[in-house]
Amino acid sequence: MDSGDKGNILLVDDEPNALKVLSAILREASYKTYQADCFDKAVEIVSLEDIDAVITDLKMPGKDGLHLFHRLKANNPDIPVIFLTAYGTVDSAVTAMTEGAFFYFIKPPDYVKLKAVLSRAVEQKRLRSEVADLRSRIESTYGFSSIIGKSPGMESIFRTVESIKDSSTNVLITGETGTGKELLARAIHYTSHRHYRPFVAVNCAALPHELLEAECFGYERGAFTGAVSRRVGKFEEADTGTLFLDEIGELGLPLQAKLLRAIQEKEIERIGGNRKIKIDVRLLASTNRDLSREIRSENFRTDLYYRLNVVQIKLPPLRDRRTDIPLLVTHFIDKFANRENKRVTSVSPEVMRVFLQHDWPGNIRELGNVIERAVVLVKGDVIGLRDIPAEIRKEAKVSGQAPEKLKPLKEIELEMINQALNTFRGNKSKAARALGITRKALYKRLENVK
């Protein structure tokens, strides 16, 4: 076994000999060791190295092992601390254990036992790091950082979500198709205090009435032909977590009644069952329909609407927040270029102009699809007009021909430069390359407008 592959251990003791002995024993057992003879040195090593566990002497001149433990608890709570202590100071070590220290040994320690404890400590540290890593990955996939947008409309949505994230109020998310309703629902769940509980989605448009009822509420064995075994429904699955009712506007009236009862009574009954089951779910619902119109035409129950619509978040269509387009373009290029393993960096200014003019009836999903296709098709590293679908190109040309839309060339040029700078987050070299001019030429043009 290579030395050092079992973990990085920091040894702290003011006694050089003690350090030497312990270090030799642990190196022999394939650990990599670091040595510190005082508090300051120990803190420095922890900040520089990826330490898996600390073994520290309790009594040291100046700041002692307990100081070190408290410091680590505050700044590096994942690093397990093991104390070595003399008889006289056992009490402090025991107190430290109650505060979360990993273990203590009375000097001289039984090295076999010490190694066994150390190996558990290192394992705990690694598991914790893994969990933290997963958390941050979930946060970047489902959390707010996955929702791109700096337009005033989106900023106000972020503020609303921030203010409701720790309550369990029901939220109705409305918006046209492709505006990010599901993405937002997940983000609400993964930033709420229910984030470590299940997030369960039901698409109310995907199933016919009977199946949907079984899907939501579950059934007992023999409840109907084909119910060969018991099945737990989505409500139960989502217990203590979040249930996302997607496309709630498609729900038929009988199921609306049943849903309302479940919300009011906070309990459900499986189909064919005779037992009430308590459930605690936060409900998020989404729709791209105008529910008040559905209510007027008696397709949707008013009482259910009020239950779901405690807070409403309206996602604006993309055409109403065009300033987000360059950001989204960069986001999707990164995403798909990464997946395709291609070096695509940007769209050409003409393409950006077309994108800014297009009405995006399919909203962000449509933009994402257009860029996905373009990234696959493009030959070089800049997406050009020929890489985007003809319908979108054509539409832009038509509106571009209207005489009132003509602008002085200088103005258009400046617009394009600003767009390019935006797209590349101010990186002038990249912007110049995308615009097909040299960096110097770009500077000159920027100079001229001052």
Ligand X SMILES: Nc1ncnc2c1ncn2[C@@H]1O[C@H](COP(=O)(O)OP(=O)(O)OP(=O)(O)O)[C@@H](O)[C@H]1O
Interacting residue with ligand X among 143, 180, 317, 349 (CB under 6 A): 180
Least distance to Mg ion from the beta carbon of 258, Å? 22
At 53, which helix (H) or strand (E)?
A: strand 53-57
**Residue 309 binds which entry of Mg ion, ligand X, none, with Cβ cut-offs from 5 to 8 Å by kind?**
none
Question: Is 178 or 218 the residue whose CB approaches Mg ion more closely?
Answer: 178
CA 384 to chain CA mean position, Å: 32
Interacting residue with ligand X among 149, 218, 233, 317 (CB under 6 A): 149
Residue 178 near ligand X by CB under 6 A: yes
CA 147 to chain CA mean position, Å: 9
The token pair at 339 is 């997946």
The token pair at 60 is 């040291």
Q: Where are the beta strands (DSSP E) in 107-211?
A: 171-174, 199-203
CA distances from 167 to 13, 154, 195 (A): 48, 21, 12
Residue 249 near ligand X by CB under 6 A: no
Least distance to ligand X from the beta carbon of 429, Å? 26
**Residue 364 binds which entry of ligand X, Mg ion, none, with Cβ cut-offs from 5 to 8 Å by kind?**
ligand X
Interacting residue with ligand X among 36, 66, 147, 396 (CB under 6 A): 147
Alpha helix (H) ranges present in 193-288? 209-217, 234-237, 253-265
Question: Is 96 or 371 the residue whose CB approaches ligand X more closely?
Answer: 371
Cα(240)–Cα(232) distance, integer angstroms: 15
Interacting residue with ligand X among 125, 181, 321, 353 (CB under 6 A): 181
Query: Among candidates 56, 62, 43, which has minimal Cα distance to 13?
Result: 56
Q: Which residue is nearest to ligand X (CB)?
A: 180
Question: Is 46 or 184 the residue whose CB approaches ligand X more closely?
Answer: 184
Interacting residue with ligand X among 179, 242, 330, 346 (CB under 6 A): 179
Interacting residue with Mg ion among 78, 139, 182, 237 (CB under 5 A): 182
Q: Of residues 364-383, which lie at the interface with ligand X (CB under 6 A)? A: 364-365, 368
**Residue 179 binds which entry of ligand X, Mg ion, none, with Cβ cut-offs from 5 to 8 Å by kind?**
ligand X
Please name the residue that has the structure tokens 């079984």. 214
Least distance to ligand X from the beta carbon of 149, Å? 5
Question: Is 123 or 182 the residue whose CB approaches ligand X more closely?
Answer: 182
Residue 204 near ligand X by CB under 6 A: no
Confirm if 375 and 383 have CB atoms less than 8 A apart: yes
Question: Is 7 or 149 the residue whose CB approaches ligand X more closely?
Answer: 149
Site residues, ligand X (CB under 6 A): 147-149, 175, 177-183, 288, 331, 364-365, 368
Site residues, Mg ion (CB under 5 A): 181-182
